[in-house]
Amino acid sequence: MIDFNPLALFQTKGKIKKVYREAKASYLNRIRFAVGMFYFGMGLSFATWASRIPDIKTALHLSEGELGSVLFALPVGQLIIMPFSGKMVTKFGSHRILIFSLIMYVFSLTNLGLAASALQLSLGLFTFGIFGNLANIAVNTQGVYTETLFKKNIMSSFHGMWSFAGFTGALVGLGMLSLHLTPYHHFIIVGIVVLLMVAFNFKFLVKAKEKIKPKKEGKKLFTKPDSSLLWLGIIGFCSMASEGVMFDWSGIYFKDIVKAPGALVILGYTSFMIMMASGRFIGDAMNNKFGRKRVMQISGCMISLGLFTAVFFPYIIPCTIAFMIVGLGVSTIVPTVYSLAGKNPTVSAGEALTIVSSVSFLGFLMGPPVIGYVAETLGLKFSFAFIGIFGVLIAFMVSKIKVSA
C-alpha cells in the first residue's frame, strides 16, 4: 500500500442535528423522498444528455473517433474536481453543495444543446463533469445521513432512483425525437423539470455540521490511509468496471458474438438495466435480512457467473439470462460501498466518499477501454471472461474487511 493520505489532515465526522433524530416518521419519510428526488434529478439529467448523443454527433458532423475524443472531456472534468469535492462538501455542507451543483449541472446540460463545434461541446462536457462529480459526492453524503436517521439500510433505494431516472430519460428522449424537438429545447424542458424538483425539495435536505479538526503539532503530512476505505474503493472499482463494460459493450457483444438479429441487439443491455434497477430497489431489504457482507459476496459471485455464462453459452436466451444475473450482481455493490464509506468513524462522509468514489470511478473509466484493447488482441469473449474474474475478487475482498450488518 502507498503510505500517502493528505486527506487525513481533514479527518472529521458529520454530526446530524438533534431535531432530525426526534422527528416524526412522516417528516423522515419526506426527507427520504426529497433526497431520492435529487438522485432522480441527477440521473434524469445524465440520461437526457446520453439520449441525444447521436443527434449531436450528426449535427456537428463528428466521426466516431472525434466523438470519442470529445466524450473523454466529461470524465476529465470529473477527475479534476475529485480531489476537492470532499473538502468542499465538508467545509460548506453537503446540502448547500448539492443545491448549487445540481443547478449548475442543469445549466451545463442546457449549454450542451448550444454547442456549435467539437471544442464548444468538449468545454461543455468538461463543466458537466465537474458539477456532476460535485453533485455525486454531495448527494451520496446526503444519502448516508438519511440512512443514519432511519437506522436501517436504504442507500440502495436511492441508487435505484438514479437507475429509474435513466429509464425515464431514455423514454423522454424518444418522445422528444418523435416531436422533432432539437436537443437544446429538449434539454431546456428537462432542466426546468429538475429545477422544480430542487425548488420543492431543497428545504428537506439533511443539515449536518462537519467540524474540521485543526492540524495537530508534529503530525505527519503523509499518513497511511484507512485500509478499509482502500478495500472499499477496490471493491467499487471491480464493480464499476463490470458495470461500465455492460453499458458500453453489451450491445456489441449481442451483435458480434451472439449474432442477435435486428432490434434484438439491445436485448442484452435492456435486460441488464432492468435487473440492475430492480436489484437496487430490493437491495435494502436483502441487506437488512441477510447482512451486507453476505449480499456483497453473493453479488460478486453473480457477476462472475453471469459473465462466464455469456462466454460459454453465446446464444440469445442464455446470454439474456446471463446479463440479467450480472445486472442483479452489480446493483447493490456500489450503494453498499458508499454507505459503508460514509459511516467511517475517522473520516468525514464527504472525504470518505471522495476517496472511495475516486478509486471506484477509475474502474468505470478504465474498464471499457481495456476491454477494447483485450478484445482487439484476444477476442471479445476472452475480454468478458477477464472481467468475469472481478466478481470473484469482490467476493474475496469482502471477506477481508469488516462489514456491518
Amino acid 210: pLDDT: 60
Asked if residue 184 and residue 133 are part of one domain, the reply reads: yes
Q: Residue 15's pLDDT band (boundaries 50, 70, 90)? A: low
> Is the model more confident about 89 or about 249?
89
The answer to the question of residue 214 being in a domain is no
The answer to the question of residue 15 being in a domain is no
The mean per-residue pLDDT over the stretch 224-237 comes to 78
The answer to the question of residue 217 being in a domain is no
Instruction: Please report, for the domain that includes residue 37, its CATH number.
Output: 1.20.1250.20
The answer to the question of residue 341 being in a domain is yes
The answer to the question of residue 355 being in a domain is yes
> Is the model more confident about 196 or about 26?
196
The string of pLDDT tens digits covering residues 177-229 is 888 899 999 999 999 999 999 999 999 998 876 655 444 444 444 445 567 78
The answer to the question of residue 12 being in a domain is no
Amino acid 4: pLDDT: 34
Amino acid 135: pLDDT: 92
Asked if residue 238 and residue 137 are part of one domain, the reply reads: no
The total of other beta-carbon atoms located within 10 Å of residue 326's CB is 31
Amino acid 399: pLDDT: 80
Tell me the pLDDT of the chain averaged across its residues.
81
- The highest-confidence range among 16-25, 34-43, 69-78, by mean pLDDT, is 34-43
The answer, yes or no, to whether residue 353 has pLDDT greater than 70, is yes
The answer, yes or no, to whether residue 75 has pLDDT greater than 60, is yes
Amino acid 306: pLDDT: 93
Asked if residue 363 and residue 246 are part of one domain, the reply reads: yes
Choosing from 204, 236, 270, the residue where a domain stops is 204
Q: Residue 365's pLDDT band (boundaries 50, 70, 90)? A: low
- The highest-confidence range among 80-89, 118-127, 202-211, by mean pLDDT, is 118-127
> Is the model more confident about 335 or about 370?
335
> Is the model more confident about 66 or about 204?
204
The answer, yes or no, to whether residue 2 has pLDDT greater than 50, is no
Place of cell 443514519: 148
Q: Which three cell numbers stand for residue 10?
A: 481533514
Rounded to 10 deg, the angle between the 333-342 and 227-256 helix axes is 160
Question: What would the DSSP string read from start to end of 326-380?
Answer: HHHHHHTHHHHHHHHHHT-SSS-HHHHHHHHHHHHHHHHHHHHHHHHHHHHHH-H
The answer to the question of residue 3 being in a domain is no
CB 56 within 8 A of CB 183: yes
Domains: count for the chain: 2
Residue 37: domain span: 23-204
